[in-house]
Amino acid sequence: MAKRYVLLLLGVFACSTAVIQIKASHTHPILIAPIRLLLAVVFLAPIFWRDLRRHRAAYTRVHLKRTTVPALVLAAHFISWTFGARMTPAAQSSLIVNLSPIAIPFFLHSLVGERINRAEIIGTLIAIAGVLLLTAHDALTHTGSLTGNLVCFVSMLLFAWYLALGRANRDFPSLWLYVVPVYLQAGLFCFLLAIPWLPTFELTSSREWALLLGMALVPTIVGHSLLNFSMRHFRGQIVSLCNVGQFLFATAMAYVLFNEHPQPTFYLASTVVVGGIALVVFSAPTAPPRLR
């Protein structure tokens, strides 16, 4: 059991490195998303073909068509998240973008009819109050980016929508038969949008390639895979709450690497946000089994 907790924390840490690598990269934000996604597809392709051979009879064109909407939503999330991460301190952007547990119940209610209880609504309001506290502080002191906060919040809503769509599509024969086509289509959508900025990419820069490979391997493949593994062995609420802890790792790394010092208000606001999220995830009904 201790090993599984270590793997869960390792997954959370791996995902938290995304904001650090985005900030460290000089590549235009709209170019990062397609390169990161398409590199992930390259690495995951062998797993996709393995599962396709195993489930060829059960996997149809209908399944493939159902990955298009999630791909569009994921593409919008990755682009907005990359812009938001550049506009806002790492601690703050990571905290806001990981508010998804408070929004997921509302998307699930709309998509699959899952009921929302009173505690989930109260917890959502508490968490949003924490974000409003951060935003008000930025507005009054001119120390942050109101636009950056908004972009991160919209990106969070898109990610929550993407996760809810994943729940609605949980009947796929294999997780990878769902994820890899979603990543591929999302990467292609982002690439089409990024074409005007292709000349700005430092094609011969080993530093940029290392960061982009790092984004594809560490948060996208290792991080998401470990979180999926954890979903098999822990209650979904536990994994969701632990995943919010990404902002703690991001804060520490940004302090060391970029000398970013969160304002005292951030600590108060983050406590309020985490409290609201905890209320939501622990009051939610036990999630149905997820794709393996």
- The model's pLDDT over 133-175, given as tens digits with 9 standing for 90+, comes to 877 766 666 666 778 889 999 998 998 888 888 777 878 888 8
Average pLDDT over the chain, rounded to an integer: 84
Q: How far, in Å, CA of 174 to CA of 116, rounded?
A: 28
Token look-up 């700005």 returns 200
Is 64 within the bounds of a domain? yes
- Token pair, residue 154, equals 């919209």
Classify residue 26: in a domain, yes or no: yes
- Give the integer Cα–Cα distance in Å for 177 and 215: 22
Q: Is residue 198 included in any domain, yes or no?
A: yes
Q: Count the residues in the chain.
A: 292
pLDDT single digits (tens) 8-59: 889 889 989 999 999 999 999 999 999 999 999 999 999 999 999 999 888 9
Neighbour tally for 279: CB within 10 Å: 20
How far, in Å, CA of 100 to CA of 247, rounded?
13
- Taking a C-beta distance cutoff of 8 angstroms, is the pair 158, 77 a contact? yes
Give the model's pLDDT for residue 139. 62
CB-neighbour burial class of residue 209 (10 A; exposed 0-12, middle 13-18, buried 19+): middle
- Centroid of chain to Cα 279: 20
Q: Is residue 8 part of a domain?
A: yes
Residue 290: inside a domain: no
* Structural domain count, the chain: 1
Report if pTM > 0.95. no
Q: Percentage of the chain with pLDDT > 70?
A: 89
Q: Which region holds residue 237: left if phi is over 0, alpha if psi is between -120 and 50, else beta?
A: alpha
In a domain, 171, yes or no: yes
- Classify residue 291: in a domain, yes or no: no
Domain contains 203: yes
Give the residue numbers spanning the domain of 37.
2-283
